[in-house]
Structure 1
Amino acid sequence: MTAVRISSAVMTHPVRKAQAEELAERLGLGGLALDPDPDGPPSALRTALVAWAAAAPYASHHLVVQDDVSGPDILLDLVSKAVSRFPDEALVFYTNWHARNGSASRLAALAGAAWVRAVPDEFTPSLGVCLPVGVAAEFREYARDSVERHDDELLTRFFRSRGRMGLLAVPNVLEHIGTSSINGHATQGIRLAVCPTDAEDAEPLLRDGWVLEDLDWLPYMRYGEGYVRLAGQENDPDGGRGHHRWQDALPRIGLTEERVRDTVAERMPVDLAADVARVFGAGFAQELWIHCLMLGRQATVALDRHAPEGARSTTAPAHGRLMEAAVSTVGPAGLPPERRPEAGPAQKRLMTEFAWSAIRCGKLLLDR
């Protein structure tokens, strides 16, 4: 096999140049990829094309990191080890805590996996992505004449055109910093990693953890409400970008509303539900619990169907902490963006305890 040689670039805008320089120096990354038209209309893709063109002649793979992240000093070492394991894959080292890919990563963590295949009907998180240099060149050619301004959206279309989505690293060693957005994403509010993980835990997970390839149907939350991504949804006329409320999706996932409601009535802890409702409203409390109930159900299915025997034996302690990290973000991420700042430490602990109470009941929705 060809030896792994990684080059890297930090994509940035002149208004964040100092921040990008500090990041590159601290993490030992390559040079800056500056927006070639900083006074033009906002376009992450414009800068991304500069960053992907910066692959060094010696490189087998190229890592592009955005300027608004923090990461461990050993980031390049972690990426190198992951690339050695998956040399032909597009590897994604950060996933936002909200929407479909975030829920896919959270489900994978609960199932015991350390990598998960990205869904094909949502943007590819692009804060830290590593591609084989040949694939990076193909992406530049694919994107060269595009009118799209979001590199994350075009990455998804590119991967779909190749028939293979990227692999999301479930333990996130990169973290998004700040809520400002040059490209217009500030309305999404606080956006953080779905499974924040320190480098010491991430290393064995990324090296030895198994890959969840098949998600079946996927529960996720959006603006305080629960939804379901259906299997094969990417083939819908709208490219799968529609959102199906969980109640409407039940006939297609083999569940009934009566069964879900009965489980809620019998198992949802009244005191915890009242505490969450007091802060964020009764509607959100119920939606969060039902979402986590379905999440627990699907994690059980994924573990039973797809996990290799003894898959977690060498990473059990780290994976326990990964699961805790995954569940700690489900409540804040599920809130409407304007309410996420209300989730302080006490509220996060409350929502985490509440979420676990539902996840542990997920197996009750399995066929009996």
Structure 2
Amino acid sequence: MTEVHVSSAVMTHPVRLTQAQDLAARLRLDGLALDPDPEGPPSALRTALVAWAAVTPRASHHLVVQDDVDAPVELLEIVGRAAARFPDEALVFYTNWHARNGAAVRLAALAGACWVRAVPDEFTPSLGVCLPSGTAADFREYARESAERHDDELLSVFFRSRGRGRMSLLAVPNIVEHIGTSSINGHAAQGIRLAVCPTSAADAAPLLARGGVLEEPGWIPYMRYGEGYIRLTGQEHGADGGRGHHRWRDALPATGLTEELVREARDAHLPEGLAADVARSFGRAFAEELWIHCLLLGRQAARAARRLSPSPDVVPPDALDRMRHSAVATAGPAGLPPERRPEAGPDEVRTMAAFAWTAVRAGERLQGVSAGGHRPVEP
């Protein structure tokens, strides 16, 4: 592994100064990056440029976290080991549970991966990001004159513009968690926004140090506002840059699946008792969308597992299992419309997770169709 030294900064605004100071002290971070124009129009990028300029002279890497996060006291140690393992990569330690990148992380978790390559057609989740020092300098230069105010959007544009358009690596076990629902930068309408796969430091440390990397998850099922969608492979090359959303029924022809196969799996495996429990809280339509989403997720994760790069060492199987369960437990609440997420208490989350697992397991056995319409026998 490469020898690294990680410098760090917390992005903050004067209204959250005390919160940021407490966070920096608890995590032993180097200092704060204050919004240079706090009375100006909201701009995360304005503060991010200050944060990415705070690289110390001997640092090989630089970590930037935002002020509205929680993280374990081992954060710097875990980040340092990850940077030593992947010295040239942009590393992301939090991913939103309701985003396409969040769906990629959830799929990767089920496949047994501990890192996954971010999709190129979505923002880079920027609550906890570590860049090589040279990359940080390049991003500052790239972003200096930008009119964009969202640092997460511009990070993705920046990554796409470099060389082969190599996106960041997303940590599957999330060790950074978002706290609160307020947003200085205008994201409050998205409601409760949490990590897709919250994981303890004790589990995350060996998984991130030794776990496998999923470079290409293939097509990715995801949910938004209570409905199921699919991100198709290569979608970023479309006229809209891949930012459009394809309902799962419309996207099925590109996946090797058919509505008939999905319907047969639903009729054979959907547990009516659990479906009724979910429907009582959130409606039958949501229950069916969630089950089909997780059916497709299980199917694609089983295929992705066969493309997984080998781990350099054995990872703890119990930690892997807890990571998988963490990812599935967030599928239900993340799939709800933002205004309904507060209704998902512990009992509802447990019910949705049990319901989701029945679909995932059915999806792992779901076969596709060949070009001639025949069902191949898959291992």
* Class of the TM-score when normalised by the shorter of the 2 chains: over 0.9
Unmatched tracts of structure 1, length 5 or more? none
Aligned 8 A contact 1:209 1:315 in 2: no
Q: CA deviation at 1:262?
A: 1.4
State the match for 2:363 in structure 1. Answer: 362
Aligned to 2:269: 267
Alpha-carbon shift at residue 311 of structure 1 (Å): 7.5
Q: Which amino acid aligns with 1:65?
A: V
SS at match of 1:361: helix
- Does residue 320 (structure 1) correspond to residue 321 (structure 2)? The answer is yes
Once the two structures are superposed, the pairs formed by residues 89-168 of structure 1 within 5 Å of their partners are 89-162=89-162, 163-168=165-170
Q: Deviations over 1:313-341 (max 9, x none)?
A: 43211001001100110000000000000
Q: Which amino acid aligns with 2:365?
A: L
Q: Look up the equivalent residue of 1:27 and give its one-letter code.
A: L
User: Where do 4+ consecutive residues of structure 1 move more than 3 Å?
Assistant: 310-313
Distance in 1 (CA, whole Å) between partners of 2:356 and 2:309 is 23
Q: TM-score, normalised by structure 1?
A: 0.98
Map 1:137-216 → 2, pairs under 5 A? 137-162=137-162, 163-216=165-218
Q: What CA distance in whole angstroms lies between the structure 1 residues aligned with 2:84 and 2:265?
A: 45
Q: Which residue matches 2:53?
A: 53
TM-score between both structures, scaled by the size of structure 2: 0.95
Q: Does 1:34 align with 2:34?
A: yes
- Structure 2 counterparts to residues 200-239 of structure 1, below 5 A: 200-239=202-241
SS in 2 for 1:62: strand
Secondary structure at 2:340's aligned position in 1? helix
List per-residue Cα deviations over 1:174-225 (Å, max 9, x = no partner).
1100000000000000000111011000010000001000111000001100
Other-structure match for 2:348: 347
CA apart distance, 1:261: 1.1
Q: How high is the sequence identity, in percent, across the aligned residues?
A: 71
Whether the 8 Å CA contact 2:27–2:72 is kept in 1: the answer is: yes
CA contact (8 A) 1:112 1:312 kept: no
Give the C-alpha shift of residue 304 in structure 1.
Answer: 1.9
Deviation at 1:363, TM superposition (A): 2.5
Give the distance between the partners of 1:364 and 1:207, measured in 2 at CA: 31
Equivalent pair of 2:210/2:314 in contact (CA under 8 Å): no
Tell whether the 8 Å contact from 2:298 to 2:363 is kept in structure 1 after alignment. Answer: yes
Over the aligned positions, Cα root-mean-square deviation in angstroms equals 1.2
Mark the runs of 5 or more structure 2 residues left unpaired by the alignment: 369-376
Secondary structure class of the residue paired with 1:65 = strand
